[in-house]
């Protein structure tokens, strides 16, 4: 968003922020000097990530996300995440705007909005992969909260596999860790293990619970999943 002092753009932003405008727009961190931070930029992958142990394929996938969309080349990333169709029911999420019951509409919204990537379920992205996987980077969320039992409990279920995500053309996978769950530590470990099932598979753990995918000409690794 462009912010130019003295014009209506900044005035409108301050109006939207209300009483918090001053603290949000003029906050200055005194704890850590900005010179010690790895700030976003067009060379972020080269400057920060390339020196790590991530494979060339992972670097390529990351760069593709950074270069796509209206923020491409800036070092900033905007991802459209739509995974509520399973966790909260499609009706709860899309009833006010029924067009988004259609998986294609979700991906088209991400493209029209100039997003760097679209993140959703294997069902949504798999349904339109041949039409859109080459047009916008896909990120598959491989797990969801289990809401089939009553009373409801917070416990993840793996709805997709890393191999399946690789086959539909995704550049990355993601997982939600349900920290309020009594088995949160096991869930976190299980998601990491699933993404690194086989040495050399080319999928690497990133910050949080996101796993980056290595694109290769080799056959995708075979992944065996525990019963849920």
The reported pLDDT for the residue numbered 106 is 94
- Going by pLDDT thresholds of 50, 70 and 90, the confidence category of residue 152 is confident
The reported pLDDT for the residue numbered 3 is 46
Q: Regarding predicted confidence, which is higher, 92 or 143?
A: 143
Residue 171 has φ and ψ, to the nearest 5°, of -100, -10
- Going by pLDDT thresholds of 50, 70 and 90, the confidence category of residue 75 is very high
Average pLDDT of every residue of the chain: 78
Q: Which of 162, 227, 228, 170 is nearest to 198 (CA)?
A: 162
d(CA 110, CA 117): 7
Helix or strand or coil: residue 69?
coil
Res. 138: pLDDT tops 90:
yes
Res. 119: pLDDT tops 60:
yes
- Going by pLDDT thresholds of 50, 70 and 90, the confidence category of residue 79 is very high
- Asked if 54 and 204 count as a contact pair (C-beta separation under 8 A), the reply is yes
pLDDT, one tens digit per residue, over 40-58 is 999 999 999 999 999 998 9
- Asked if 115 and 80 count as a contact pair (C-beta separation under 8 A), the reply is yes
Res. 91: pLDDT tops 90:
no
pLDDT, one tens digit per residue, over 140-150 is 998 887 767 78
Percent of the chain having pLDDT more than 70? 71
Q: Is the peptide bond prior to 219 cis by the omega test (within 30 degrees of 0)? A: no
Global pTM reads 0.70
Q: Which of 21, 18, 66, 17 is nearest to 45 (CA)?
A: 66
Q: How far is CA 134 from CA 25, 107, 125, 128, in A?
A: 38, 12, 12, 11
Res. 191: pLDDT tops 80:
no
Q: Which of 154, 155, 171 is nearest to 210 (CA)?
A: 171
pLDDT, one tens digit per residue, over 212-223 is 343 333 334 333
Res. 92: pLDDT tops 80:
no
The reported pLDDT for the residue numbered 169 is 95
Please report the domains of the chain, with CATH numbers, ordered by start residue: 38-213 (3.20.20.70)
The reported pLDDT for the residue numbered 144 is 82
pLDDT, one tens digit per residue, over 12-43 is 999 999 999 999 998 888 888 888 889 999 99
Mean pLDDT of 59-87: 90
């Amino acid at each position: 968003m462009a912010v130019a002092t003295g014009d209506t753009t900044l005035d409108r932003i301050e109006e939207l922020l209300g009483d918090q405008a001053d603290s949000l727009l003029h906050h200055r961190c005194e704890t850590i000097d900005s010179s010690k931070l790895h700030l976003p930029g067009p060379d972020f992958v080269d400057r920060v990530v390339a020196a790590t142990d991530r494979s060339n394929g992972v670097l390529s996938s990351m760069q593709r996300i950074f270069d796509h969309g209206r923020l491409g080349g800036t070092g900033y990333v905007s991802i459209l995440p739509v995974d509520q169709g399973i966790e909260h029911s499609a009706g709860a999420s899309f009833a006010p705007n029924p067009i988004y019951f259609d998986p294609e509409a979700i991906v088209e919204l991400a493209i029209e909005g100039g997003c760097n990537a679209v993140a959703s379920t294997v069902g949504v992205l798999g349904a339109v992969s041949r039409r859109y996987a080459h047009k916008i980077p896909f990120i598959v969320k491989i797990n969801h909260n289990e809401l089939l039992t009553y009373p409801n409990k917070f416990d993840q279920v793996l709805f997709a596999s890393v191999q399946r995500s690789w086959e539909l053309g995704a550049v990355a996978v993601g997982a939600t860790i349900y920290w309020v769950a009594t088995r949160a530590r096991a869930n976190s470990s299980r998601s990491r293990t699933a993404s690194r099932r086989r040495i050399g598979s080319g999928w690497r753990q990133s910050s949080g619970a996101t796993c980056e995918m290595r694109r290769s000409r080799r056959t995708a690794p075979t992944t065996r999943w525990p019963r849920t």
